[in-house]
Structures are given as C-alpha cells and as structure tokens.
A and B are shown apart, each in its own frame.
Chain A
C-alpha cells in the first residue's frame, strides 16, 4: 500500500511534535496571553509569551486541534524562543510564504517548522498550520 501523498504531509518530525509537544503548558508569572481559534474547524490555542527587552525569553502553549495545528504550535514556540520579536515576526512571514508554496530563502531558519512545507499542497489545512503563528503575531503586535 502506498501512502506517498499522505507521507508528504505527515512527515515523521511533525508526528513527533504532535505526540511529544515541546513547550506545552502554562507560564508562571508575567506573560502575554493570546487566545485564538479557528471557528470553521474548532481548533483552539492559548499561547503565552514572555518578552523582555525585545527578546522572546519563553513561550508556551495549550490547545486542542489536529496534528497539523498542534505540531505547528510546538515547532513555532521552539523556533521563536531566544529570538528577537523582530526575527520572530520575520519567521512568521517566512512561514506564511512557505504555506503559499513559495521557495523560501532567508538567513533566518525555521528549524523543524520547515517540515510543514508539504501543507502547501493541502489548501484546506493551511489555516491549521498558521494558527499558532497568527497567535504569536497578535500577541507581539497587541503589546
């Protein structure tokens, strides 16, 4: 049996983040909190960011959703932690371009999140992958 089509979407690293999410939980102390959901499908995320001097010191998330939305949240928090807010926003832009199927070339690396590039072939799932990134953008922009 061939799973080629599906395997281009559900890469091993994605399923690993889904099964063993990084940065899942709640931040102690002062943190920016953003709640965001995807009303068409019910996916829901609460993202917390601890930003000091323009740098994302810590990031954690809670939520419910499909493997794409939850693994993306895990990968996103991993990617932005320790980076400046400016770079985090650049990453988000880069990620959105990747979802549109554009070749991304940048000196900034998305890390594991690059494994989600296959989502661009599944238009109905792009919103799942971008949910966590949109939450991050909202959090730092509203600050």
Chain B
C-alpha cells in the first residue's frame, strides 16, 4: 500500500496549520475526502442534478441511475443479500434511532430487556433509554472487563428469554475495542433476540460482511469513510424490515394515497421519505471505489501496524495513561499527566496536530474510566509512522510546556 500516493489524493492534508505541516489525527470524528469523492459530488451538481424516481426527463434518469447504482455498490461492499436491505439515511445516529422508533417501539413490552454496554456512543444509548421509557422495557448493561473489552461469558449469562434487543458498537470510538460481533449475534439469536450494531467505526476500517456477521441491523456513516457528511446507511434483514412501519412519512415513500389512508412503497424506499441525499449517496459510491481500490484488507493491515507502532512509541512518554485494550483499532484515547485534555489538544494544535478532546459522546464510559474527559488521536489509511512520530514529539513538547508554566 503506497501511502505517499494515497496522501496525494487528499489535497487538504497538504497544508500548514499554525506554522506546522498538518498532522490530522481526528478521522474517528470525520475522515478527510479524496479528490475523486469531491469530484463525484461536483460532477453530479454540474452535469446531472435532478430529483430521483420521478423525472421522465434525461437528467432525472441519470440522477436515479447514479443514486440506485450507489445503493448496489453499498450492497456489494457490505455483502447484503439485496438492495432492499440497504436504506440510505443521514448517518449512524439516524439508523439506530430508526430501529428504536420503528422496530423496538412496536415489538417491546414491559418485562422485555434491552442489553447494551457502557462503551457505547450516546447514539447507541439514548435511543434505547427512550425505547425503555416508551415501552416499559428494561435497559441493562453488560459489564466491561478491566481492559475495556466485553466477555462472551457475560453475554451468555445476561442474554435471556426476556432479552429482545442486543446493541453494541462494532468498534469503540474511545477504547478502540474491536467487539466479537459474530459470536454475540449467535448468543443473541439463541434466545430469540436481535442484534443491532453501531458500525460507525467498523465499516471505514475493515471488511464488513453483514451476512457473515449475521447481525440483524448494522448502521454506519459515510463521512467517516471518505464520503461527504449527511449520508449514512442502515442495513437490516429483509424479514425484519418488511414488518416495520416507516418512521417518516411523505413523498417518495408511498404507493397509493387516499384521503384517509395510504400504503407504502416496497423496500428500501418505504424508509426513505422525502427527496433523498442524492449527492451524498453518489459521494459514498466514489468513496467505496477509493477504499476498494486500496483494498480493505490492506487498510486494516496498515492501521494495525500504525496502532501497534503508536502503542509502542507511547510507552516512552512518561505520565501518559492510555485507555483500552492492547489489541485495538487505530486510535488511542489518553490523558497526559495532570494536563487537562483540552489544554493538551490546544497545545498539539499549536504544533499543527489535530486531535479530539472531551467526552467523545460517551459520558457513561468516561464515568467507567473515572475521568471527566480524555484526548484521542485516531488514524486512517492516509496516516503514516511519521505522523506518529510528530504526535509523540508534540506530546513531549506539551509536557515540557505545561511543566514549565506550572
């Protein structure tokens, strides 16, 4: 994998920030976009822009072909059985909320249980809190091991006949934990529960095969995988989606409308009320092309090497506390001595290094870690060992600076 050539496809990386060459280590928040994605969106607006599924005219056909072509591309990318199982939406948050509002509200009742983990992003916690409140179901948590992983034995104990929904992140956005989705799916199904996966940090970084994982729903966001913001995907098994009511009602999603009643289009369109995110879907298709040209296995391999390298290099930094397991996705969440993570992030930014600081939309996990905030550096296919070196060097300078002013 030629990272130097890859970097040339990302014009944004070639700039100075605060007098230093930009080192972008915040791809878990949002990834940068290659020229091919930017051009795909631009070309759509320049040459083909029209609404989809209704125009008899030529531009309408072109737009529809590209939009539905993007769906087929996503289907193949995640190996869904059919395009009816690939719903375009605004992102992971919308995907999980749709499952909660449609599937969970209709199927759960008092006494039923929802099982999640304390490592979830708020978008995989709050929809279930709201579901529990609305249906009378109980929200339970699988405990975390000391290293920030889950134990399958705990799932075997905690998934019971009462459990109706198990939800978990494929990869933790804070700890970098890669969760055993396939095994959890087996346990959930053995008791008749369904498995909902927050794939926001999964799909961008590794080959995901939804049939192999055998999850029931899998939600992810385009903007974390080189595509524009505002486009996301909810994969769901057809037999579940068929029996679910739409969450939004209006244009595009209807079959027949009379004065008092209406019927819905077939899958996936019954879940896509209103004019869809056409340019976003086209950008997502271009992003998938880019990722597949590089190869998902090559990306995973590159990121695993970077993860190992950064963990090894951070061992040389005194007073750094890194959270999460040794084997992890390519992100490190940490605290540097007594320096508050916001101050760490500001100091690193002054050296051109972009990291995230705060609670990472995971307040229950911050509580479990017994911290109020942390800093996080996250890596992607365009990051290099040189970025790791600059990051470590930035941390050492930050330590020196705050040691010096305190």
> Which residues of A come within 8 Å of B, CB atoms?
1, 3, 5-7, 9-10, 12, 15, 19, 40-44, 64-68, 122, 124-125, 128
**Of the candidates A19, A44, A125, which one forms a contact with B346 in the assembled complex, judged by CB atoms under 8 Å apart?**
A125
Known: A6-B401, A12-B405. A42 touches B359 (CB 8 A): yes
**Of the candidates A19, A40, A44, A67, which one forms a contact with B358 in the assembled complex, judged by CB atoms under 8 Å apart?**
A40
Chain A residues near B372 (CB, 8 Å)?
42, 44, 64-65
Given A5-B18, A65-B372, 14 other A-B contacts at CB below 8 A? A1-B397, A3-B404, A6-B350, A10-B343, A10-B405, A12-B405, A41-B357, A41-B373, A42-B358, A42-B366, A66-B342, A124-B346, A125-B342, A128-B342
Chain B residues near A5 (CB, 8 Å)?
18-19, 350
B360 to chain A, nearest CB (A): 9
Q: Is the CB of B340 within 8 A of A1?
A: no
Q: How far is the CA of A127 from the CA of B395 in the complex (A)?
A: 24
Chain A residues near B397 (CB, 8 Å)?
1
**Of the candidates B19, B342, B373, B406, which one forms a contact with A19 in the assembled complex, judged by CB atoms under 8 Å apart?**
B406
Q: How far is the CA of A19 from the CA of B338 in the complex (A)?
A: 11
Query: Which 6 residue pairs are nearest across A and B when measured between Cβ atoms?
Result: A66-B342, A66-B340, A41-B358, A42-B359, A42-B373, A5-B350
Write 26 A-B pairs (CB below 8 A) sorted by A numbering.
A1-B400, A3-B401, A6-B346, A7-B405, A10-B343, A10-B405, A15-B405, A15-B406, A19-B406, A40-B358, A41-B342, A41-B359, A41-B373, A42-B363, A42-B372, A42-B373, A44-B372, A64-B372, A65-B340, A65-B342, A65-B372, A67-B340, A67-B343, A124-B346, A125-B346, A128-B342
Contacts of B390-406 to chain A: CB distance below 8 A: 397, 400-402, 404-406
Contacts of B328-383 to chain A: CB distance below 8 A: 340-343, 346-347, 350, 357-359, 363, 366, 372-373
Q: How far is the CA of A43 from the CA of B373 in the complex (A)?
A: 9
Of B340, B402, B406, most A-chain CB atoms within 10 Å: B340
Chain B residues near A122 (CB, 8 Å)?
346
A24 to chain B, nearest CB (A): 16
Chain A residues near B404 (CB, 8 Å)?
3
Q: How far is the CA of A44 from the CA of B404 in the complex (A)?
A: 27
B16 to chain A, nearest CB (A): 13
Q: How far is the CA of A7 from the CA of B117 in the complex (A)?
A: 42
Chain A residues near B343 (CB, 8 Å)?
10, 66-68
Chain A residues near B346 (CB, 8 Å)?
6, 9, 122, 124-125
Residue of A nearest to B340 (CB): A66
B397 to chain A, nearest CB (A): 7
Of A1, A5, A65, most B-chain CB atoms within 10 Å: A5
Contacts of B223-255 to chain A: CB distance below 8 A: none
Contacts of B29-69 to chain A: CB distance below 8 A: none
Chain B residues near A64 (CB, 8 Å)?
372
Residue of B nearest to A14 (CB): B405
A64 to chain B, nearest CB (A): 5
Of B342, B358, B363, most A-chain CB atoms within 10 Å: B342
Chain B residues near A7 (CB, 8 Å)?
405
Of B350, B363, B405, most A-chain CB atoms within 10 Å: B405
B167 to chain A, nearest CB (A): 23
Q: Is the CB of B401 within 8 A of A68?
A: no
Residue of B nearest to A3 (CB): B401
Chain A residues near B357 (CB, 8 Å)?
41
B12 to chain A, nearest CB (A): 18
Q: How far is the CA of A64 from the CA of B350 in the complex (A)?
A: 24
Chain A residues near B18 (CB, 8 Å)?
5
A120 to chain B, nearest CB (A): 14
Contacts of B270-285 to chain A: CB distance below 8 A: none
Residue of A nearest to B358 (CB): A41
Chain B residues near A124 (CB, 8 Å)?
346
Chain A residues near B373 (CB, 8 Å)?
41-42
